[in-house]
Structure 1
Amino acid sequence: MAHIASLAHSHPMSLSTIETCFGSLYTSIGVYLEGELQGFAILHQIFEDATLMDICIAPKSQGRGLGHLLLLHVIATACEGGAETLFLEVRESGVAAKALYIRDGFKETGRRKGYYKTEDGSEDAILMELHLSR
């Protein structure tokens, strides 16, 4: 997972951070092609609130709809766990990711100014949420 994140994200979660996402409040979901991990998502859920901590597809497998399938699985998992709202944040520069989230019904709800590091400074985090129906 850390290797895929390092290929796909300019500032990925550290290995130690990823390792903390295997506790009882987390669900890690992988997408495989021919037995090889191509992407993953990490879902954190406490009662009715679920947060998509990360979703990542290896660059060589992007553009095949795997991110969409993975996101649909995350949404279904959150619903099965009794979540009412699924939250996430995305880099302002994450145009493809934002389009994916909007396509699946997420709405922008706010911003964190200068939240993410970039090569030459910082950029905003766009906060998004999806209200889930059971």
Structure 2
Amino acid sequence: MAKTEIHGYCVMWKKEDAYDPARGLELTIRSLVPGDLPQVLEIERLAYSYPWSEAVFLDCFKPDYRVWGACLGDDLVGYAVVTHILDEVHLLNLCVHPGWRGHGAGRRLVRHLLAEAVREEMNQVLLEVRLSNKVATRLYRNEGFEEIGRRPGYYPAASGWEDARVMSLLLHT
């Protein structure tokens, strides 16, 4: 288990990063700007049956939100959107281009948002994930998140509505 300490806060991670810079991939994490929206919207449409609209993304460029991208050179391969509410971070959207899944971009985004949450002295990270999304659930569990509840009928689905698994990671001092 890997452990990172920043400003007196301790975050535990269960697995080493899958991203290997020796493979020649120059994956970087950076803050996104509204000009990145065409790439974000393209990934969103490719990845989700019920994608967020441009208006929803534009609304996330406010002071209490953070929008980060995982980039290979100039190409955006994934992104994360979080909001801060008091001393909590809520992960609203994490998405990786279908062609880049399994290469560590999602894990890098999660670890980046955790490090930033610790740096900003937040106490907890919360998220919802579809019950059917086993890959994302496994990623979050491997990074230390625990299920704390369910939200019935939270996500639109082809057959009506799907429940969400609510997960949390406490950032301890």
Q: TM-score range by the shorter chain?
A: over 0.9
Count of matched residue pairs:
134
Which residue does 1:131 correspond to in 2? 170
Distance 1:84 1:13 in 2: 28
Which residue does 1:73 correspond to in 2? 112
Distance 2:64 2:122 in 1: 12
Structure 2 residue runs without a partner (length 5+): 1-39
Distance 1:70 1:91 in 2: 19
Give the superposition deviation at 1:47.
2.7
Which residue does 1:100 correspond to in 2? 139
Q: Say which is worse superposed, 83-92 or 2-11, in terms of deviation.
A: 2-11
Identity within the alignment, % = 37
Give the superposition deviation at 1:34.
2.5
Q: TM-score, normalised by structure 2?
A: 0.75
Distance 1:85 1:53 in 2: 14
Q: Counterpart of 2:59 in 1: which secondary structure?
A: helix
User: Which of 10, 34, 50 lines up with 2:49 in the alignment?
Assistant: 10
Q: Counterpart of 2:58 in 1: which secondary structure?
A: helix
CA deviation map 1:51-97 (0-9, x unaligned) = 00110000011110110011000111111111100000001111100
Structure 1 residue runs without a partner (length 5+): none
Correspondences of 1:20-59 after superposition (within 5 Å): 20-59=59-98
Question: Do residues 120 (structure 1) and 169 (structure 2) align?
Answer: no
Name segments (4+ residues, structure 1) moved above 2 Å.
none
**Structure possessing the higher relative contact order (Cα contacts under 8 Å, 6 or more residues apart):** 2
Question: Is the 8 Å Cα contact of residues 112 and 126 (structure 1) preserved in structure 2?
Answer: yes
